[in-house]
């Protein structure tokens, strides 16, 4: 079952919360945060590669969403709207800081008892690390497509890009991932993606 089909009741609950919030009931926004925190934080974590930064970015995304709630018209899902906000925010952060993701990944986990997902997964597959190392827009298209299961047109709207550019970004991102993943392996012929 598609994610969109599963979320129909949640969608109407979202609209209800937005209405109440716009009517002055600030606590109604807490319901939205509660419902979408995993998605927003998940995207931030994949984009930024650090729990601390992801937590901060996810908070900032919700604050922005709150201040712009009057612009949410309900023609798109709340989830898609929030993913758009957090994705653009993360792209801006990555560009502004111009920091190498390795630095973030190599940081000591802030909670040693609970190893961070990136180190754990990178050791097992290398795929999470390869994604974090992609350029911001390529990382975004991979995350939106494969983890958020967005259509090309939704991705285009989210990133404010033409669909053709989204396709080109996906093609390049997949090639880059393949190159990075196969460079360390013993595979013979390189498959061009």
C-beta of 99: minimal distance to other proteins in Å? 21
Q: Does 132 bind other proteins (CB under 8 A)?
A: no
Contact with other proteins (CB under 8 A) among 2, 67, 106, 188: 67
Q: Concatenated DSSP letters for 47-93? A: HH--HHHHHHHHHHHHHHHHHTGGG--SSS-HHHHHHHHHHHHHHHH
Q: How far apart are the first and last CA of the chain?
A: 29
3-state class percentages of the chain: helix first, strand second, coil last, to nearest 5 = 75, 0, 25
Contact with other proteins (CB under 8 A) among 6, 8, 16, 66: 66
Chain residues in the site for other proteins (CB under 8 A): 21-22, 24, 26-27, 29-30, 33-34, 37-39, 41-42, 45-46, 51, 54-55, 58-59, 62-63, 66-71, 117, 121, 125, 127-128, 131, 142, 145-148, 151-152, 164, 167-168, 170-172, 174-175, 177-178, 181, 191-193
């Amino acid at each position: 079952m598609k994610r969109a089909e599963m979320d129909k009741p949640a969608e109407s609950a979202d609209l209800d919360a937005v209405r109440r919030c716009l009517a002055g009931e600030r606590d109604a926004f807490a319901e939205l945060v509660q419902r979408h925190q995993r998605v927003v934080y998940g995207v931030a974590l994949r984009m930024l590669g650090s729990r601390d930064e992801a937590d901060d970015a996810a908070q900032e995304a919700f604050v922005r969403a709150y201040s712009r709630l009057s612009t949410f018209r309900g023609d798109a899902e709340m989830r898609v709207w929030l993913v758009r906000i957090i994705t653009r925010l993360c792209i801006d952060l990555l560009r502004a800081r111009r920091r190498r993701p390795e630095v973030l990944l190599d940081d000591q986990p802030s909670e040693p008892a609970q190893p961070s997902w990136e180190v754990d997964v990178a050791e097992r597959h290398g795929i999470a690390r390869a994604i974090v190392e992609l350029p911001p827009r390529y990382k975004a298209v991979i995350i939106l497509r494969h983890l958020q299961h967005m259509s090309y047109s939704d991705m285009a709207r989210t990133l404010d890009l033409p669909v053709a550019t989204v396709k080109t970004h996906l093609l390049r991102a997949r090639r880059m991932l393949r190159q990075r993943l196969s460079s360390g392996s013993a595979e013979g012929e390189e498959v061009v993606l």
